[in-house]
Chain A
Amino acid sequence: MIPELGHFSLILALGLSVALAVLPALGVYRRDALLMQTGPSIATGLFVLLAFSFGCLMYSFIQDDFSVAYVANNSNSALPLQYKISAVWGAHEGSFLLWTLIASGWTLAVAAFSRGLTFDMKARVLSVLGLLCAGFASFLLFTSNPFDRNLPFHPADGGDLNPLLQDFGLIVHPPMLYMGYVGFAVPFALAIATLTTGRLDAAWARWSRPWTNAAWAFLTVGITLGSWWAYYELGWGGWWFWDAVENASFMPWLMGIALIHSLAASEKRGVFKSWTVLLAISTFSLSLLGAFLVRSGVLTSVHAFAVDPTRGIFILMFLVLVIGGSLTLYAWKASGIKSEAQFEWNSREAMLLINNLLLVVATASVLLGTLYPLLYEVITDGKKISVGPPYFNRVFVPIVCLLFIAMAVSPFSRWRRTSGDVLLRQHWPFLLATPVIICLVTYVVATGIDVIAIGVETLAVWILVLLARHWWQAGSISSASQLGMMLAHAGIAVAILGVIVTITYSEGRDVRMNPGESIALAGYDITFEGVQKVRGPNYLADQAEFNVTRDGEFVAKLRPEKRVYSVGQNVMTEADMDPGLMRDVYVALGEKVGDTAWAVRVHVKPFVRWIWLGGLLVALGGFVTLLDKRYRRVRGLVSNNVVGTAA
């Protein structure tokens, strides 16, 4: 009964989203204020219906209703409760229901928090979002209904959730990621709506900024959590694999950075307006492309959901419609948009332009590497290739180094033009330090230490020093936006410092160990004490015990496990680590390779936590910008009223 209710409300939701797409737009067309104002109430209804539907699915999971096919495939009566709940988005159907729910949530948020928008604009934006929701909901209903029944013969127990996903990281990672992906629909809808009016003014950029920042901050949290989860659960100590699906989330993230910066220039100086619109369209398109790559099964990946060609075709059609439609509209309308202001090449505008170019090139290089296997297969008629991490490292790292240099200089440049004096005054210690660094690096090259690492570390420290100095100068932080910007930039510097130190100075080995044996690594002595059997709620494990000491002093006891999950007989490695701000000691248990011997992977990874701390700091920066008063200030007559009532 409950699943049917969920299914039914999903169908109603599709109806409402079509209404949302049509009615306000019709109101704009007929200049009918009543129709134009239907948007918010429809959006509320849409959200409530989808939330109810989602609740029904969750209820089916908690009640172990294995007559629902999706529940039977992804849950089991022995599964702990928190994983039964997260299993709702553990596979394709449910996770897309979550995606649609989040889309309606953003729609509702736009309806509720857009006092600054004119009625006309609000109606247009809600219509675009309604259209997107309609697309998502019909995809859900027609190709991936999570409420399909297994009747009359349903299994007595479920096939269990993939043990990889039975983890805290996976409870939070997808919702955050989807908040980001789908959140980019808002600046997209704003851009489309503005294009249809043909007027791109500073107000449009100001409306878009908080939404873009929020979506991007969520995406940042999602990617950071994903990387952290991969580190301890999947990756044997790796934290980024240039896997197709990781790239799918990384591309809109990069494009999102470009959009955020370009929006700033559009709002403050009225430049790059048509470019910004294009970025808003591309960012959301890349989000959709990500969804296509993950859900169509065209690419092999650790994350890919089950293969089903009809789904792939549906998303591809949707993708073509959205991208094709919006680009056509863009081509039609954008020629009328003129940039108002001029600037010089040492101005902040020019810095932002460089930032944008580099980010677009970075995104394009990731896109090329991700889609190349597909292209190659088509061109060569079926030859299969993979593009390895060396490609991405080779292409991506130099671009990021350039970006990083621009990042050090640009926050302190001025709009219109920056005089050389200002730059010099800001950066003289760095200019002085550079020859010293070059000498140091040359010396170091001769002795064989990594040059790029030292360069990048110096830059990262330099960025942090500059930001700290800026912070120190009292009164120089004038707004939440600026504070957010500084936090985000500091976060990037922290993360990059973490990345480069981890890459360069990590030590790790795969060894065969018998109980009692020990291994010395980066100053630590790691002793294998032995293995015992442990029983968990839905698995049996071999739990090893390792004693970590440094110079004879106790550091930690680590207990990595090798689990066999009872239902699917899946084998899982649970690594254990002694985390620290300066280093992680990481031990993962491989397989049993002899009578008593085990394969063991040990890592000492300095600064690895900085990667995720940096990521979280970046996200925090994004969220802090939302507190900026300017975004809440309402313009024109409306604003006077609000001020009047407040006073």
Chain B
Amino acid sequence: MKFGPMKSHRRNRLLIIVFIVCAATGATSFALFALNENINLFYSPEQIVKGEAPVGKTIRAGGMVLDRSVIRSEEGLGVSFVVSDLKSAQVKVEFEGILPDMFREGQGVIALGQLTDKGVFVAEEVLAKHDENYMPPEVADALKDVNPSSENTLNKANYN
């Protein structure tokens, strides 16, 4: 294996530039493609009830866990609960696994998963932040849109 010496300095520089441009273009398009495949849009309970959220695609949904809505299955780790925007919209979430420590009724949560055609949200992951006063911004917004009067209490929770 013997490489001939590169004679021209210019040719060398050109090669480097071509290499950089190709690499950058390749990497960018690859990254954008991957990005497009892997972003998860957030939908509020209201949007889901109205049918704005896609079925069978991984999305995020969030809201307040409704009081007395958490039901555990007799066997295994199945659990279901209802997230709502504290007004009319309610979405049932089903999950199989261990809920986060700060998951509680009356607490804001975000779930990552897919909506079935029956309108049930099957979660792969449930997130609740490790702070009893914390409200995920998405959830805060979702609640604010429907119910302006709840804004004050939410802000208070957020900045506490």
Contact = CB atoms under 8 A, between A and B. Distances in A.
Interface string A399-423: 1000000000000000001011101
Given A300-B137, A342-B9, A424-B1, A361 B24 contact: yes
Nearest to B96: A510
A571 B40 CA distance: 28
Given A236-B98, A512-B76, A388 B40 contact: yes
A357 B5 CA distance: 23
A409 to B, nearest CB: 13
A344 B12 contact: yes
Q: Count chain A CB atoms within 10 A of each CB in B23, B39, B129, B158 and give the residue with the most.
A: B39
B117 interface: no
A250 B32 CA distance: 20
Nearest to A431: B1
Contacts of A394: 34, 37-38
A361 B1 contact: no
A41 interface: no
A372 B36 CA distance: 10
A345 interface: yes
A2 interface: no
Contacts of A420: 1-3
A390 B98 contact: no
Interface stretch (A326-334, A379-387, A488-496): A379-387
Interface string B123-160: 00000011110001110010000000000000000110
A125 B37 CA distance: 46
A230 to B, nearest CB: 12
Interface string B69-111: 0001011110000000000000000000111011000000000
A641 interface: no
A186 B142 CA distance: 45
A373 B136 CA distance: 15
B31 interface: yes
B20 A300 contact: no
A568 B132 contact: yes
Contacts of B42: 383-386
A511 interface: yes
B27 interface: yes
A369 interface: yes
Residue of A342, A386, A420, A599 with most partner-chain B CB within 10 A: A386
A302 interface: yes
A590 B42 CA distance: 27
Contact of A387 (B35, B77, B99): B35
A25 B15 CA distance: 42
Interface in A488-509: none
B48 to A, nearest CB: 14
Given A164-B130, A593-B77, A345 B15 contact: yes
Contacts of B141: 382, 384
Given A164-B130, A385-B42, A512 B75 contact: yes
A11 B28 CA distance: 47
Interface in A423-455: 423-424
A593 B72 contact: yes
A376 B38 CA distance: 13
A512 B77 contact: yes
Nearest to B138: A384
Contacts of B41: 383-385
A45 B131 CA distance: 39
A346 interface: yes
A570 interface: yes
B132 A390 contact: no
A568 B158 CA distance: 16
Contacts of B72: 593-594
Contacts of A234: 130
Nearest to B34: A394
A569 B30 contact: no
A419 B2 contact: yes
A373 B30 CA distance: 18
Contacts of B39: 372-373, 376, 385-388, 391
B11 to A, nearest CB: 10
Contact of B35 (A307, A344, A369): A369
A317 B34 CA distance: 32
Given A345-B15, A365-B31, A383-B41, A591 B159 contact: no
Contact of B136 (A300, A395, A419, A511): A300
A555 interface: no
B3 A353 contact: no
A391 B39 CA distance: 8
A590 B99 contact: yes
B130 A386 contact: no
A355 interface: no
A155 B31 CA distance: 51
A522 interface: no
A572 B22 CA distance: 49
Contacts of B49: none
Contacts of B37: 390-391, 394
A162 interface: yes
Nearest to A571: B101
Nearest to A368: B31
B111 to A, nearest CB: 12
A262 interface: no
A603 B28 CA distance: 37
Interface in A20-55: none
Nearest to A563: B101
8 contacts: A302-B129, A345-B15, A386-B39, A387-B38, A391-B34, A391-B37, A511-B77, A572-B101
Closest 7 CB pairs of A and B: A420-B1, A590-B98, A391-B38, A384-B42, A571-B101, A394-B34, A385-B39
Given A357-B20, A420-B1, 6 more contacts: A344-B3, A345-B15, A361-B27, A384-B141, A386-B42, A394-B37
Interface of B: 1-3, 5-6, 9, 12, 15-16, 19-20, 23-24, 27, 30-31, 34-35, 37-42, 60, 72, 74-77, 97-99, 101-102, 112, 129-132, 136-138, 141, 158-159
